Chains A and B, each alone.
Chain A
Amino acid sequence: MGSLFDILDFAGIGLGRVQSDDEMTVIPLVGGDRGNIARPSSLKFERTTGYGSMQFSNEDDKPAIVPSNMMVRGTGGQDHAMSGCGIILAKSTKSFNDACCIEETQGGMLSAEGNDEDILPIELRKTLLNYGKRTQKGYSKLWNDIKDWLRGMNLGRDSAHLRYFYDNKSIGQALEDFAASFEPIENQIGAVIMFNGIPVGIEIMPSADHWDAYWQHLLRGCYGAELLRMKKLGKITPSTLILPDIPEDASPAEVKELLTEFSDHLREEVIPALERISVSDNRRIGSITSGLETRMVITDSGGGDIILQDSKPIYISLVL
């Protein structure tokens, strides 16, 4: 089916300067707005209407996008996450009845206020790349995966409460510190995220406003959380980028040149890495509404969602 790079349509997207913190490297993707999509502030989580059902509203006169696997954690009800991404038409409200409960033994419904929002961590997102599971209406469908994900971190009882992780004081602080190490740059609409030099995610939003609204959910809640878990479980080799040797007699001007080349090289490395990822499945999810089409893409090691508007990709969220 070709390489991932061919499908993504990077026309009009540039690469920003590489940012890194220990094992994680982020290559910012910069560009103009990619679609005619509602401002992120128009999208609101309204409530859970039942176990496994999340309701969102859009007050804009353009359609809005709910980012893939968005999770909502509140104090008054059972925490939930989306099984994929979502589209809310202009000036309307929509319930997603294939959502997942992520807090096994808690009862009650979430309301609009007082919630924390994030995106599910990578490994849990990957379990929802199974088409059957993703579209299944069953609020408990992620419980076993959450238990597996939490196992080994000694965070509490053996139940599927994802908030055991996010509410842990030291983990919360570590995630905040981690997110603070990265900064959105001007006109940033997305990023390629790598662990130890290997791409683990590609995120492209419809506009820089969207990236501003969701970058922390992604870098802290999704990628940062997964990296922290991997470190806790010893599943990743501690590393930092190998910095280039600077000859002892290099003048300041030569140092500048050498390191500028190094930064540019890091940035350019990402393109062949994406070209090496092949796509095994690329199918439409649901029907085309208001010119918007959702597709699920499966790659060698992961996959995710792409939303096209008038056949052009405007939203991409893939875990690899």
Chain B
Amino acid sequence: MSEKDFQIDSGMLQFVPKGAYYEDQNEQIKAINDTWSAFFNYDRTLFCLTTLLNGTGFSKGAMSHMLLSNPQAVTGREIVPAGLAFDYESKVIMYNLIKERTPRALKNLLMLAGKEGKRRVNNSRTRHLILEYVFNRDHHELDNLAINYKGKLKTLIRHALGKQELTKILFGDHQLFMKRIGRYHPDAFPVMCYVFNRPLQKNVVYTRFAKIDQVQELSKAAKAGDVDSFKKHMKGLPNLTVMGYRNTYKIPVELSIVYEKAKMGSRQSLQMESAAKKAGTKIKVNYKNQDIYDLWKAFYHKVTIGDQSNIKEVIEAIRFKMDSKKKIDIGEVVIVIDASKSMQGSDTRPLHPFLTALSISSMISNVKDVLYVGGKIHPQTDGVIIPSGATDLWRGLVEAVLTGTKKIIVISDGYENSVKGLFDHVYKHFKKSGHDFELMHINPVMSADAKSGTVRKLTEDVTPLPVSSHKYLETEIIFNQMIENREIVKQLLIGKYKNLIGG
């Protein structure tokens, strides 16, 4: 494909396989596969390095699958770009797996075993990746991984080792165990036995895995219908594991006790906060561990339903995130946020555009001022703005220019109606009369596959940057420059590789 014909946009990193109204899932997957193939053939190094940018777990998994399906070196004489290690692809893939939340990382590895609609891939690189990801972790983490994801580990380990080697290891081939697994975790044999339901040898002393032992006790209690023993052993085990045994064996333990005693992931605890409250209990949420979008969402949810509990903690966590988050610095900037009614989003994703706008503004450093256009103060609060009313965005532009800033970011869905065209009219006036500022229009779109040419513009001179999540802001900025400044972008990504992974 010639460079002239090649087109790319960041949607390829943000794909989530859900059927949209006009496009069923198969059509979407075919389209995205074509995009990935085209990019892979255009520049394999760029293809690999872009997965270091923020994107969805599914996209990264599928792109890694493509890299692992095609040998990195065919002739052995391929030149690795300066600044990258010879096995940089494996390093990038492993880095992404480690950064990903565990369920998603396992799903991505399962793609290699023919799951998630992918073709099976089995080679030296995939074997190492799977076994290293599963076993190269400390004792406590491996214990937790085993009890949370037993079924998935079973599939992955069997795929990586093959039937023959797996049987040999489970039947006591210690040398083979050390070669394949022991190199990462020499004490992991009990984990193998737990995952494949094999009893441990009685005459051998093993390092114990406390959680595995506990789950086995819980299982015994559930099968025997022993409620007291069940309650005793459920403490500290994952919520989903406990719920699974409770529901399967109909153990009469109240939901509120499960919420209180069992353990939830950080994100799950935030999502379950309201459900737990309804069930008559409280769960402890570590707000500072949450994503900024989830925090804004929790904040607005609490404001909307009038729930004052922990609201100060949520606000503190938002401030903490705004202070501590690694931010994007494009110089001193004034941000104009469209807070009109249309930023309320849809019934299925209420407030999504507005929450995305708030999260994006939290990601940018060196902010001189944030100006809201439209919106109203929520009646039960002290100054919380909620989207409402018409969009006279031109006022925001004028106010921003009045601050004397040289960079203005407008975050808006582009539906200007009060009155339509005034923003463009005012912008052109300022440009014509010599006001020196740059304007960036970020459109917080609902769907990740929105293309920059298809979202609404505020002025014909500025192409909007569609951003479906604050996580993709840097990605969008880089993809925007991908074709015109290919080598600069590559160097930028190599720099990112060095920062994140090292040599």
Contacts and interface: CB of A to CB of B under 8 A. Distances in A.
Given A25-B419, A183-B417, 17 more contacts: A17-B418, A18-B419, A19-B390, A19-B418, A19-B419, A28-B390, A180-B342, A182-B417, A185-B388, A186-B388, A240-B421, A243-B421, A246-B425, A246-B426, A248-B429, A252-B435, A255-B398
Given A180-B415, A183-B389, A252 B420 contact: no
Contacts, number: 84
A51 to B, nearest CB: 33
Nearest to B387: A183
A253 B415 CA distance: 24
B433 A250 contact: yes
A263 B433 CA distance: 22
Contacts of A183: 340-342, 389-391, 415, 417
Contact of B425 (A243, A249, A263): A243
B402 interface: yes
A248 B390 contact: no
Contacts of B389: 16, 183-186
A25 B394 CA distance: 17
Nearest to B424: A243
Interface string B373-415: 0001000000000001111101100110110000000000001
B420 A263 contact: no
19 contacts: A16-B390, A17-B392, A20-B420, A25-B419, A28-B390, A180-B342, A181-B415, A182-B417, A184-B389, A186-B376, A186-B389, A241-B419, A241-B420, A248-B432, A250-B429, A255-B398, A256-B395, A256-B398, A263-B418
Interface in A1-32: 16-22, 25, 28
B433 A249 contact: yes
A211 to B, nearest CB: 12
B273 to A, nearest CB: 29
Nearest to A183: B341
Contacts of B391: 183
Interface string A243-267: 1001011101101100100010010
Contacts of B392: 17, 263
Contacts of A263: 392, 418-419
Main secondary structure on A side of the interface with B: loop
B422 interface: yes
Contacts of B432: 248
Contacts of B415: 180-181, 183
Most central of A28, A183, A259 by chain B CB within 10 Å: A183
Given A183-B341, A185-B389, A252-B398, A259 B426 contact: yes
Nearest to A180: B415
A21 B426 contact: no
A218 to B, nearest CB: 16
Contact of B420 (A181, A184, A185, A248): A181
A292 B430 CA distance: 55
Nearest to A184: B341
B interface residue count range (under 10 / 10 to 19 / 20 to 34 / 35 or more): 20 to 34
Interface of A: 16-22, 25, 28, 180-186, 240-241, 243, 246, 248-250, 252-253, 255-256, 259, 263, 266
Interface in B412-455: 415, 417-422, 425-426, 429-430, 432-433, 435
Interface in B312-362: 340-342
Contacts of A20: 417-420
Contacts of B435: 252
The 8 A-B pairs at the shortest CB distance, nearest first, are namely: A183-B341, A19-B417, A185-B389, A20-B419, A246-B429, A252-B401, A252-B402, A256-B398
A86 to B, nearest CB: 28
Nearest to A242: B421
Nearest to A249: B433
A247 to B, nearest CB: 9
B402 A253 contact: yes
Contacts of A248: 429, 432-433
B387 to A, nearest CB: 9
Most central of B394, B395, B419 by chain A CB within 10 Å: B419
Nearest to B340: A183
A218 B398 CA distance: 33
Contacts of B395: 256, 259
Contacts of A181: 415, 417, 420
Contacts of B422: 243, 259
A301 B39 CA distance: 60
A55 B235 CA distance: 58
A314 B376 CA distance: 27
B417 A21 contact: yes
Nearest to A266: B419
B420 A22 contact: yes
A108 to B, nearest CB: 27
Nearest to A241: B419
Contacts of A252: 398, 401-402, 430, 435
B390 A17 contact: yes
A25 B418 CA distance: 9
Contacts of B418: 17-20, 263
Contacts of B426: 246, 255, 259
Contacts of A25: 419
A252 B395 CA distance: 10
B102 to A, nearest CB: 39
Nearest to A173: B22
A20 B421 CA distance: 9
Contacts of A18: 418-419
A184 B390 CA distance: 7
B428 to A, nearest CB: 9
A28 B392 CA distance: 14
Most central of B395, B421, B430 by chain A CB within 10 Å: B421
A180 B416 CA distance: 10
A16 B389 CA distance: 10
Given A18-B418, A21-B417, A185 B398 contact: no
Most central of B394, B398, B417, B422 by chain A CB within 10 Å: B417
A183 B342 CA distance: 7
B178 to A, nearest CB: 63
B390 A21 contact: no
Contacts of B341: 183-185
Contacts of A180: 342, 415
Contacts of A21: 417, 420
A252 B426 CA distance: 9
Contacts of A246: 425-426, 429
A185 B390 contact: yes
